[in-house]
A and B are shown apart, each in its own frame.
Chain A
Amino acid sequence: KAGVTQTPRYLIKTRGQQVTLSCSPISGHRSVSWYQQTPGQGLQFLFEYFSETQRNKGNFPGRFSGRQFSNSRSEMNVSTLELGDSALYLCASSFATGRNTEAFFGQGTRLTVV
């Protein structure tokens, strides 16, 4: 079966712009989580959506937002981009939350802000 698909793979934006990243989870998975990965900070949790509801949120400013659609596809939006937003953004999907959860990761979207 198809894995987690993130689009686009690479993106270059200028400061002040906004960007939308997309994540299509594995079929049947209802939970989608987003992470920001940078060399200095490692993997930082952004938020998690389950059945179109944001269930958990990390410690990021309000410029970072997301949503999930009825087909479980998720989008992440970053407004007023800053240079420090340059990172690899990873999406992970899972069938359900709880002890038997295994998160499957996409290949990520590498965002460069110039």
Chain B
Amino acid sequence: AQSVTQLDSQVPVFEEAPVELRCNYSSSVSVYLFWYVQYPNQGLQLLLKYLSGSTLVKGINGFEAEFNKSQTSFHLRKPSVHISDTAEYFCAFYSGGYQKVTFGIGTKLQVIP
């Protein structure tokens, strides 16, 4: 079965502290991995994506993620968060075999001033 698990539904973190949002996937075929961010009352915006090559991927707004094939994980990190990072973050993967994108349930990041 194809699935994405975001292990934390909510993550509170103080401003300027580091944060890691966890994502694990399950797929029997090769996948391409994405992180999206959704600000209140907005659609989703792509943060970063992993297609191949270097397992460390850098995205917008200072975020980065590391693909770990053996652990089937794609955790999102930022060394120092800002108030404006308060949003919901979705991990997703594209499976060529199914030709569709599967999303996780989302993690709400709350940055505390």
B94 touches A101 (CB 8 A): yes
B102 touches A105 (CB 8 A): no
**Closest CB-CB distance, B39 to chain A, in whole Å?**
10
**Closest CB-CB distance, A1 to chain B, in whole Å?**
16
A56 CA to B98 CA in the complex, in Å?
Answer: 8
Among residues 52 to 100 in chain B, which have CB atoms less than 8 Å away from a CB atom of chain A? 52, 90, 94, 96, 98-100
Closest to A108 in B: B43
Among residues 60 to 114 in chain A, which have CB atoms less than 8 Å away from a CB atom of chain B? 90, 92, 97-108
A41 CA to B100 CA in the complex, in Å?
Answer: 18
- How many pairs of A and B residues are in contact by the CB < 8 Å rule? 54
Residues of B within 8 A of A98 (CB): 96
> Cβ of A55 < 8 Å from any Cβ of B?
yes
B106 touches A43 (CB 8 A): yes
Q: A45-B101, A55-B99 are in contact. Are A103 and B32 (CB under 8 A)?
A: no
Among residues 31 to 75 in chain A, which have CB atoms less than 8 Å away from a CB atom of chain B? 33, 35, 41-43, 45, 48, 55-56
A100 CA to B34 CA in the complex, in Å?
Answer: 11
> Cβ of A26 < 8 Å from any Cβ of B?
no
Q: A99-B32, A100-B51 are in contact. Are A45 and B102 (CB under 8 A)?
A: yes
A102 touches B43 (CB 8 A): no
**Closest CB-CB distance, A109 to chain B, in whole Å?**
11
**Closest CB-CB distance, B68 to chain A, in whole Å?**
19
Most B CB contacts (10 A, CB to CB) among A4, A98, A99, A100 go to A99
Closest 6 CB pairs of A and B: A105-B43, A42-B105, A43-B103, A105-B44, A56-B100, A107-B43
- B interface with A by C-beta (< 8 Å): 32, 36, 41-46, 49, 51-52, 90, 94, 96, 98-106
- A interface with B by C-beta (< 8 Å): 4, 33, 35, 41-43, 45, 48, 55-56, 90, 92, 97-108
